[in-house]
């Protein structure tokens, strides 16, 4: 199973370092956004879905799955914006100047050089992690188990 960028919302300190790192890495066209409300934040970025709705929605074939990620072939993009509407995470954006979509590429250039995604490496609170989904789920269950053992109440209980 491949690794993905996963998000731990309880750790986000709303510093926007991930946004800055992504914009720096991609010539001011960052593909991660931090949205906040009432002191809580969420990082919005492509999850590189295995069964990606954006890929299915693209009539030009500009989006395709490759090596565990969803790649955008910018030259094929017609600017129809269907991928933007199809993405359940709001992680595909539109460049009005170039009239085409753009999204996270998992810092492909950095990975080819043996380095991880800039947003993950820059996050000071480790709210963003690169991990296998199964391992991450196991970690989350262990954290929840320790919280219950310590006497914390479950949300919604």
For 8-125, give the CATH class: alpha beta
- Of residues 24 and 69, more confidently modeled: 24
- Of residues 64 and 28, more confidently modeled: 64
Instruction: Compute the average pLDDT of residues 25-39.
Output: 89
Tokens of 74: 């910018």
Q: What is the pLDDT of residues 60-87, one digit of tens each?
A: 999 999 888 899 999 999 999 999 999 9
Question: In the chain, where are the structural domains located?
Answer: 8-125
| Alpha-carbon dihedral sign for residues 74, 63, 65, 31 | positive
Task: Report percent pLDDT > 70 for the chain.
Answer: 82
Q: Do residues 47 and 89 lie in contact, with contact meaning Cβ atoms separated by under 8 Å?
A: yes
First to last CA, the chain: 33
């Amino acid at each position: 199973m491949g690794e993905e960028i996963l998000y731990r919302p309880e750790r986000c300190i709303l510093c926007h370092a991930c946004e800055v790192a992504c914009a720096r890495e991609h010539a001011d066209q960052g593909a991660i956004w931090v949205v906040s409300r009432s002191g809580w934040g969420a990082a919005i970025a492509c999850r590189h879905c295995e069964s990606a709705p954006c890929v299915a929605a693209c009539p030009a074939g500009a989006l395709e799955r490759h090596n565990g990620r969803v790649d955008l072939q910018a030259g094929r993009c017609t600017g129809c914006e269907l991928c933007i509407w199809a993405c359940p995470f709001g992680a595909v954006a539109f460049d009005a100047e170039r009239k085409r979509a753009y999204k996270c590429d998992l810092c492909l250039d950095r990975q080819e050089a043996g380095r991880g995604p800039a947003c993950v490496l820059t996050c000071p609170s480790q709210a963003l992690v690169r991990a296998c989904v199964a391992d991450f789920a196991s970690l989350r269950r262990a954290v929840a188990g320790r919280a219950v053992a310590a006497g914390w109440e479950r949300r919604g209980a």
